[in-house]
Structure 1
Amino acid sequence: MRKRLVLFVIAFAISAGVGFWFVWQRPVSVTTAAVERGSAVELVYATGYVEPEHPVIVSSRATAPVAAVLVNEGDPVARGQPLVQLDDSEQHALLAQAAADAQGKTLAERRVTTLYAEGWVTRAARDEAVAAAKAARASSSALSARLDQMTVRAGISGVVLKREVEPGDLATPGKELLQLGDPASARITATVDERDIIRVHVGQVALLSADAFPGKVIRGRVYEITPGGDPTQRAFRVRIHVEDAISLPFGLTLEVNIVVNEHQKALLVPTGAVIAGRVWLVRDHRVQPRMVGTGITGTDKTEIASGLQAGDIVVVNPSAGLREGDRVRP
Structure 2
Amino acid sequence: MFGRQQDQLEYTGEETPRRSRRWIWILGITILVIGAIAAFAMVRGGDAAKKDASQAAAAPKGGSQNPTVTVAVPGKTTLQTVVTGTGSLAARREMPVGVAGEGGIVTRVLVEPGSWVGAGQVLATVDRSVQTQTADSLAASIRVAQADLRLAQAELDRAQRLVANGFISKADIDRKTAARDQAQARLRVSQAQFSETQARNRRLDIRAPAAGLVLTRQVEPGQIVSSGSGVLFRMAMGGQMELRTQLAETDLQKLHAGVRAEVTPTGTTKTFPGEVWQVSPVIDPQTRQGIARIALKYDPALRPGGFASARIIAGGVTAVVLPQSAVQSDNQGNYVYTLNADNAAVRVPVTTGDVTEQGVAITGGLSGNERVVLTAGAFLNPGQKVIPNLQKLN
Q: Does 1:60 align with 2:99?
A: yes
Q: How does 1:1-330 map to 2 (within 5 A)?
A: 25=64, 32=70, 34-36=72-74, 37-48=76-87, 51-64=90-103, 65-100=105-140, 102=141, 105-106=144-145, 109=148, 113=152, 134-167=188-221, 168-172=223-227, 175-183=230-238, 186-203=241-258, 205-211=259-265, 214=269, 216=271, 218=273, 220=275, 222-231=276-285, 233-241=287-295, 245-247=297-299, 249=302, 251=304, 253-264=307-318, 266-276=319-329, 277-279=334-336, 288=345, 290-300=347-357, 301-304=359-362, 305-307=364-366, 309-310=368-369, 312=371, 314-316=373-375, 322-324=379-381, 325=384
Larger radius of gyration, structure 1 or 2?
A: 2
3-state SS of paired residue (1:138): helix
Which structure: greater helix fraction? 2
Letter in 1 for 2:81: E
Cα 1:294–1:164 shift into 2, 3 Å: farther
Output the CA distance in 1 between the equivalents of 2:283 and 2:225. Answer: 37
Q: Deviations over 1:47-91 (max 9, x none)?
A: 355555444332322131433321111111122321121222332
On the 8 A contact 2:320/2:366 being kept in 1, the answer is no
Letter in 1 for 2:263: S
- TM-score (norm: length of structure 2): 0.59
How large is the RMSD of aligned CA atoms in angstroms? Answer: 4.6
Letter in 2 for 1:249: L
Higher relative contact order, structure no. (Cα contacts within 8 Å, ≥ 6 residues apart): 1
On the 8 A contact 1:190/1:239 being kept in 2, the answer is yes
On the 8 A contact 1:63/1:173 being kept in 2, the answer is no
On the 8 A contact 2:338/2:348 being kept in 1, the answer is no
On the 8 A contact 2:92/2:295 being kept in 1, the answer is no
3-state SS of paired residue (1:191): strand
Cα 1:232–1:278 shift into 2, 3 Å: closer
**Aligned residues, how many?**
303
Structure 1 unaligned runs (5+)? Answer: 1-10
On the 8 A contact 2:242/2:295 being kept in 1, the answer is yes
3-state SS of paired residue (2:210): coil
Percentage of identical aligned residues = 23
Letter in 2 for 1:303: A
User: How far apart are 1:165 and its partner, in Å?
Assistant: 3.2
Output the CA distance in 2 between the equivalents of 1:217 and 1:314. Answer: 41
- TM-score (norm: length of structure 1): 0.68
3-state SS of paired residue (2:135): helix
3-state SS of paired residue (1:210): strand
Output the CA distance in 2 between the equivalents of 1:215 and 1:27. Answer: 53
Structure 2 unaligned runs (5+)? Answer: 1-47, 160-171, 390-394
User: How far apart are 1:160 and its partner, in Å?
Assistant: 1.1
On the 8 A contact 2:323/2:374 being kept in 1, the answer is no
On the 8 A contact 2:148/2:183 being kept in 1, the answer is yes
